[in-house]
Structure 1
């Protein structure tokens, strides 16, 4: 099916989402929180996500940033929620995340692999101001000496900078701030609830100044919209000025669940780009390999040119792990 022939997705009439059968529902303003106990908290990450991580810890599902391209939108369907309409305003909260994490880290089946925090919803979105799940999660990882990456767009992570720094003494830890482009007009459309690129750059600089290693996930690079030489160079230069220890470029992926909404927006706002997107994504959610390797390779060249990570020293433990994994 051609992209310009994609049908509009009808919103089915629902009297009660499936998530409500096992959740405590709380409303705050225009946001609905669904509080649930976590069945598991360490989840396997599909290789197709392209993040270089096999496991993730996600205290929240759904995200107030409401990024149009977010691949996590699909998971809302399984809860009886709408991936387009509800993703930014219906947030699932795993209220016992820290307790569950301590139990799973203590399991003999767990091999201590690096986990990413916040893949199904920013772990420092506004919900975290209400529920404060991250301090307990970070303390559990610190006490286990387990390596992790915190992925966020939010300056709320600064609240826990000391905890992250403590964890970095016993395990390899990195914060990864997502900055795909610096065009703020475009950001207001495709990342409507997210902070500006400037604020995220300032966040990166502040974390580095506090001694917390901060890398940048340059994601997503949007074909035909943010992939020109000038745009790529502008992002890399500003990331270098912020002192990021690493830069990881990622071209936009369009898995089912975000593909429909993104391509509908593209058809409305940039219809002339649909044929090019059909060339790039006609075979699946990942852009054509020659395009992807060319763009990501150019970003890597620019990162070397601007010296990103050039003075980064290999991580070394600075103290012995103080294991405190008893259940709370």
Structure 2
């Protein structure tokens, strides 16, 4: 029988959909030596760009940054797990133990923001994997990315389930004061026991609530994410989670129904069989009721909230709770007008940031300036 692995969410290293050979461990009754728990490995990612763009109509941003591939939080339900299959790895244990860090993230971000054709819009930091997972404490890649956004006055919305975000309040608070930063903290459950088994290396629930309080007191607008909603497992906690987050200082709230794309379905079913065997069949039955008989829906609009009576009930409960608690009464849009492109480097940055027409107006005051501008025009191919 499959056993839970201490500190890990997945209970197997299930093969990805691209693997031609499938392996399965079988207990044949003979003695088998216990394997040591897999250790976390961090490898450099070979990415050439850092901003990912999307055209999804059911999410409030069109671009995002994920400093890491894979996530050590090890959430059994994580919808990002299938992305590890593209790396030739398992969406199971490999996803939470073999991480890829984007060490050049800040440098690449400066390059992309400096492009003449770049137009600012809020960047979601952590849309796929958590930007504040445990390895960030040492690697500080998310910190470096935030520093670039801070220096260029670029709007950002951070989403995490880690209290490590408190470390970067010195950057986020002044940005929030300029209406350039928001934070969203995911609170899946108030039960420490369920959280420990469901998302073993994420921050404990009570600590996430304290992080909400700390962020709010620093003047940073905070949204609480009750996500994912898992029927018959944590859905009964909706009102309690929203109430606790509101008391801590959250201004707004959102929820997302459990999503089980591709390999996540089998990984989560394995987790249920090991950790919640008495509820496993009931949970999956309700999931299918809200997914039109399937385990997952990829259609825009329905993938986040589901369909059917149970899904409608969740939506109504959410609206009533938010109305009672005073959540979502106001929504502020992040300001994109303050964006200042980073300097390209060298003297050319002066002419990039200063319009040629402005310099020409001052030519009569300096013959040297006239010659300098002409030289720059020749370099850049600009007609006199």
Q: Same fold (TM over 0.5)?
A: yes
Checking the alignment, whether the CA contact within 8 Å between 1:180 and 1:220 is kept in structure 2 is: yes
2:375 maps to what in 1? none
Checking the alignment, whether the CA contact within 8 Å between 1:243 and 1:308 is kept in structure 2 is: no
Note the residue ranges of structure 2 that are not aligned, 5 or more in a row: 1-12, 22-37, 298-302, 347-384
Cα deviations by residue, 1:232-286 (Å, 9 ceiling, x for unpaired): 2111110110110211111111111322211232345223313333323334333
Moved more, 91-100 or 124-133: 124-133
Q: Does 1:297 align with 2:316?
A: yes
Change (3 A) 1:322 1:47: closer
- SS in structure 1 at match of 2:133: coil
- Give distance in 2, aligned partners of 1:124 and 1:316: 22
1:31 maps to what in 2? 40
* Superposed displacement of residue 302, structure 1: 0.4
Q: Does 1:252 align with 2:253?
A: no
1:232 maps to what in 2? 238
Counterpart mapping for 1:303-322 below 5 A: 303-310=322-329, 314=332, 321=339
1:272 maps to what in 2? 281
- SS in structure 2 at match of 1:38: coil
* Superposed displacement of residue 217, structure 1: 1.3
- SS in structure 2 at match of 1:56: strand
2:151 maps to what in 1? 143
- TM-score norm. by structure 2 comes to 0.71
1:20 maps to what in 2? none
Q: Does 1:43 align with 2:52?
A: yes
Structure possessing the higher radius of gyration over alpha carbons = 2
Task: State the number of aligned residues.
Answer: 303
Among 212, 220, 238, the residue aligned to 2:228: 220
- Give distance in 2, aligned partners of 1:62 and 1:212: 28
- SS in structure 1 at match of 2:184: strand
Checking the alignment, whether the CA contact within 8 Å between 2:52 and 2:63 is kept in structure 1 is: yes
- Give distance in 1, aligned partners of 2:116 and 2:315: 38
Runs of 4+ in 1 over 6 A off after TM superposition: 11-14
Checking the alignment, whether the CA contact within 8 Å between 1:149 and 1:173 is kept in structure 2 is: yes
Checking the alignment, whether the CA contact within 8 Å between 2:290 and 2:311 is kept in structure 1 is: no
Q: Does 1:174 align with 2:182?
A: yes
More strand as a share of residues:
1
- Give distance in 1, aligned partners of 2:14 and 2:340: 52
Note the residue ranges of structure 1 that are not aligned, 5 or more in a row: 1-7, 15-28
- SS in structure 1 at match of 2:321: helix
Change (3 A) 1:74 1:185: same
